[in-house]
Structure 1
Amino acid sequence: MENYVLTDKFYSKDMDDFSEDPFCNPEQPTTITFEDITSAAYKIRTGINQTQCIKSHLSELTGMDIYLKKDFLQNTGSFKERGARYALLMLSKEKQQKGVIAASLGNHAQAMCYHGLLLKIPVTVVMPLIAPIMKIQKCRELKANVIIEGKDMAEARKVAIRIAQEKGLTYINGYDHPHIIAGQGTIALEILEQVEDIDAIVVPTGGGGLLAGVIVAVKALNPNIKIIGVESERCASFSKALECGEPTQTIIEGTLADGLAVPKVGYNAWATSRDSVDKMVVVQEEWIAVAILRLVELEKCIVEGAGACGLAAILAGQLDEFKGKRIVLILSGGNIDTTILGRCLERGLAADGRLVKFKATVSDRPGGISELCKLIGSIGVSIKDVIHERAWVTSDVFSVEVKVVCETRDFSHSLELRELMFANYKRVKFENLRSIKSSKPDITSTINNM
């Protein structure tokens, strides 16, 4: 690996002040080599799980030969352990004794805390106020010094760097530190050993560390394999960098793929990967919800939004050029909050045309709503919720407007329900079946109507 240029300070356009992070210098970025990745693979081999990469049941559904690299089966639930362990092992004895610090919403923090505990290296993590409580608690259980400060990651990062300067700790960036990138690249070496004749590998992309590591490893061994990066439309920082020709500050919105919500691609990751990525795909949030649902139903895999983005791109028809070919999806993480998982599954069902909401005006005389329920049940549709409204019905005083949420078997079953309602009631309005097609759901307007 190249020698790092330990400049005193650099100026980051996305921050209001100068911040010291000598391993991430925009003026002299460090590019990662294949030798760096093989070194990382050797050093972390006894502390990292070699996770499964097996053929998916989704292959028949999509018309592709799909393999799933299940790196959410690492001890802390994400691929982040690879880079974290390597970065900790590469510290000098003096720096290991002094300790490290990182800023993270969750996965990088947990990985650092876990391997810091195993290697007896003191770890401090700065987590913003928006970090999930369960991830904060997990870091505390791993004996780390957890600091909750900052409204978002940008502020948490400033705090972490300031503490690093004050206490002499080593700050380790979660996606752009050279050793982090090299460690993440070890996942590609495993994939190439586990699966033959690969046509493409799809990589969830946030700060770009995983993408850069995978590109270096794969292109060195088989340059014919296509490397596809995938992002959410609400945090497409790598696509923005490609558009502008350099890492550029990007507006980040709330996303199911919160693990990818990095406003600016890392400079080292960008320098390493920019000329070798074959395609970048930006997926809609609705398809991420459907992908999470598919993975739960068909693969029994509980995967967070970031890990489901590769499948989302396939389901949305954005990788149709790989029909009939062999493609590997990296399921990068499984640390999804249980309440968020419930919402994702409901949104996935709605986007899939299997959770349907409609309004109908029915008779308010005895048996009116009962008749509606019997009619719905007659075709095997399950009623999830019923709300009736009397005060604002303008037709007549003997009518009531009923809002019904139903679960159906599939999209065609939902169409059958719609036709049944139209045939029996004059005033019916379905809120999320406006433009869904039978072959593939057009889900751009589905989620917001829930």
Structure 2
Amino acid sequence: MEEVYNRSRIALKVIKKYIHTTPLDASMTFSNMAGCRVYLKYENLQKTGSFKVRGALFKVYELYNKGVDGVTTASAGNHAQGVAFAAKVFKMRSAIVMPITTPISKIEATAGYGAEVILHGSVFDEAESLALSIAREKNYAYIHPFNDIDVIAGQATIAWELLEQLDSIDVVVVPIGGGGLASGIISVLKIVKPSIRIVGVEPSVAPKMKKSVEMKKIVEVDVKPSLADGLIVKKVGELTFNIISNTIDEIVTVDEDEIAYSMYLLLERAKTLAEGAGASTLAALISGKIQGIKGKNVVALITGGNADLTSIYRVIVRGLLKHGRMVKIYGYVPDIPGTLYKITEVIAKHRCNIVDIRHERSNEKMPPLYTYIEILLEVPSRKALDNVINDLQKNGFNFSTTT
């Protein structure tokens, strides 16, 4: 921990001219929801869209000074972009191995920094195996995403910024994937101000650090797909485990619904795009997973914004459904010409918008000469929806609602 602390001070001086000092802003909306004073650290506004560039820059800088002229790594996203960007800064060659399941947007972004991108394997472990082979064949240096002292020291520079930006910090909430960021934050804050409480957040589908800390040894967990794909690894590193297991105050988990809702709220209320991993800290706060924070100054790290747009679309629709601003109505109506026209006329009258509509004529529960209709609506208010349902009923159409 002390070594990370010392190296992080060097890292801050080295990488400062290549990165943004990202904003730390108070949020009244989320403070009211969480019952504490919430401050959001917007690392989604960082170069490459993620905090990962900090650790990559410091590591590549150290390798550059040792005469290394090529680097490689394995990553499905943010670490890949960070290494590619850092290699470009120091004019080094880079070969990045990404799983074949990586979204095209992240592949293109990584290649855009000048890296050679190789798609291999369906999971990180398979991609890493090829990256290590490339390192041996080409005499490149392999950069581990989290189990590396220089990478951790680079991520720790966020802690120094926090100390400059907010005089009184009570709690810092940090997402945990492999544990590099949490290890860095802990190594600085627990030395400078030991009273600061550090809370880690993991997706419930991959609680590898939480289980490892509980078992007092590194354990491998089975993982499932998650919106917080940046936090999905089967096991943590020895370096990160040794730091975190001895010093972190608490680790909580959040489920997919909580992550999705927080992504939606960050878009809706904070006007910021956060990926699932980045939104997980807010999810832990507003879901009540973290106790004893009433009236405290709590910093939530929004660690990245490189979200796949397809996922964002699904998150937005899910959020609109949850808030009742998008609603499905359904019913059985006479299968005769003009029926649909009358229904849409009523909907338009109350300023509701049809997003999607579906007919079904082959339903055994359906009365003869009727058809089943399901309509997805955008509604301005609950009152408008009630008026639509009532007016449809007056016109002889019985519709029900479902979310």
Instruction: Tell me the TM-score normalized by structure 1.
Output: 0.82
2:107 is aligned with 1:136: yes
2:61 is aligned with 1:89: yes
* 2:141 aligned partner: 170
* 1:12 aligned partner: none
Distance 2:368 2:105 in 1: 50
Name the CA shift for 1:225/1:334 in 2 (closer, same or farther; >3 Å).
Answer: same
Residues 350 and 384 of structure 2 are in contact (CA less than 8 Å); yes or no, is this contact kept in structure 1?
Answer: no
Residues 64 and 90 of structure 2 are in contact (CA less than 8 Å); yes or no, is this contact kept in structure 1?
Answer: no
* 2:266 aligned partner: 295
1:6-155 alignment, distance < 5 Å: 32-59=3-30, 61-62=32-33, 63-91=35-63, 93-97=65-69, 99-155=70-126
- Residue among 142, 156, 159 paired with 1:185: 156
- Listed one character per residue, the Cα deviations across residues 169-210 of structure 1 (whole Å, up to 9, x for unaligned) are 211101111111111011011011101222211111111110
Bigger fraction of residues in helix: 2
2:201 is aligned with 1:230: yes
2:331 is aligned with 1:348: no
Name the CA shift for 1:278/1:60 in 2 (closer, same or farther; >3 Å).
Answer: closer
2:254 is aligned with 1:272: no
| Structure 1 segments (4+ residues) deviating >6 Å | 421-427
- Residue among 363, 368, 391 paired with 2:362: 391
Q: CA deviation at 1:352?
A: 3.5
Residues 185 and 217 of structure 1 are in contact (CA less than 8 Å); yes or no, is this contact kept in structure 2?
Answer: yes
- Listed one character per residue, the Cα deviations across residues 292-351 of structure 1 (whole Å, up to 9, x for unaligned) are 111111111111111111111223222353233221111111111222221221122233
Distance 2:346 2:170 in 1: 50
Name the CA shift for 1:421/1:392 in 2 (closer, same or farther; >3 Å).
Answer: farther
- Residue among 261, 273, 280 paired with 1:309: 280
Segment of structure 1 superposing worse, 115-124 or 417-426:
417-426
Q: CA deviation at 1:398?
A: 3.0
2:219 is aligned with 1:248: yes
2:297 is aligned with 1:326: yes
Distance 1:65 1:414 in 2: 35
* 1:336 aligned partner: 307
Which amino acid is 2:303 matched to?
A: S
Residues 286 and 351 of structure 1 are in contact (CA less than 8 Å); yes or no, is this contact kept in structure 2?
Answer: no
Distance 1:146 1:395 in 2: 54
Which amino acid is 1:226 matched to?
A: R
Instruction: Tell me the TM-score normalized by structure 2.
Output: 0.91
- Listed one character per residue, the Cα deviations across residues 103-141 of structure 1 (whole Å, up to 9, x for unaligned) are 111111111111111111222211111112222222222
Q: CA deviation at 1:408?
A: 3.5
Distance 1:313 1:137 in 2: 32
Distance 1:232 1:350 in 2: 23
Distance 1:421 1:328 in 2: 48
Name the CA shift for 1:82/1:366 in 2 (closer, same or farther; >3 Å).
Answer: same
Residues 50 and 78 of structure 2 are in contact (CA less than 8 Å); yes or no, is this contact kept in structure 1?
Answer: yes
Residues 228 and 277 of structure 1 are in contact (CA less than 8 Å); yes or no, is this contact kept in structure 2?
Answer: yes
- Listed one character per residue, the Cα deviations across residues 256-278 of structure 1 (whole Å, up to 9, x for unaligned) are 11111111111111101112211
Percent of counterpart pairs with the same letter? 35
Structure 1 unaligned regions, length at least 5: 2-30, 433-450
Residues 43 and 304 of structure 2 are in contact (CA less than 8 Å); yes or no, is this contact kept in structure 1?
Answer: yes
Name the CA shift for 1:140/1:196 in 2 (closer, same or farther; >3 Å).
Answer: same
Distance 1:278 1:375 in 2: 56
Q: CA deviation at 1:242?
A: 2.3
Q: CA deviation at 1:71?
A: 1.0
Q: CA deviation at 1:357?
A: 2.4
Distance 1:246 1:358 in 2: 52
Q: CA deviation at 1:427?
A: 6.6
* 1:442 aligned partner: none
Segment of structure 1 superposing worse, 240-249 or 81-90:
240-249
- Residue among 257, 271, 274 paired with 1:286: 257
Residues 95 and 169 of structure 1 are in contact (CA less than 8 Å); yes or no, is this contact kept in structure 2?
Answer: no
Q: CA deviation at 1:420?
A: 4.5
Name the CA shift for 1:35/1:339 in 2 (closer, same or farther; >3 Å).
Answer: same
- Listed one character per residue, the Cα deviations across residues 241-267 of structure 1 (whole Å, up to 9, x for unaligned) are 123222211112111111111111111
Distance 1:95 1:110 in 2: 22
Structure 2 unaligned regions, length at least 5: none
Name the CA shift for 1:146/1:401 in 2 (closer, same or farther; >3 Å).
Answer: same
Which amino acid is 1:68 matched to?
A: L
- Listed one character per residue, the Cα deviations across residues 14-34 of structure 1 (whole Å, up to 9, x for unaligned) are xxxxxxxxxxxxxxxxx8542
Which amino acid is 2:113 matched to?
A: L
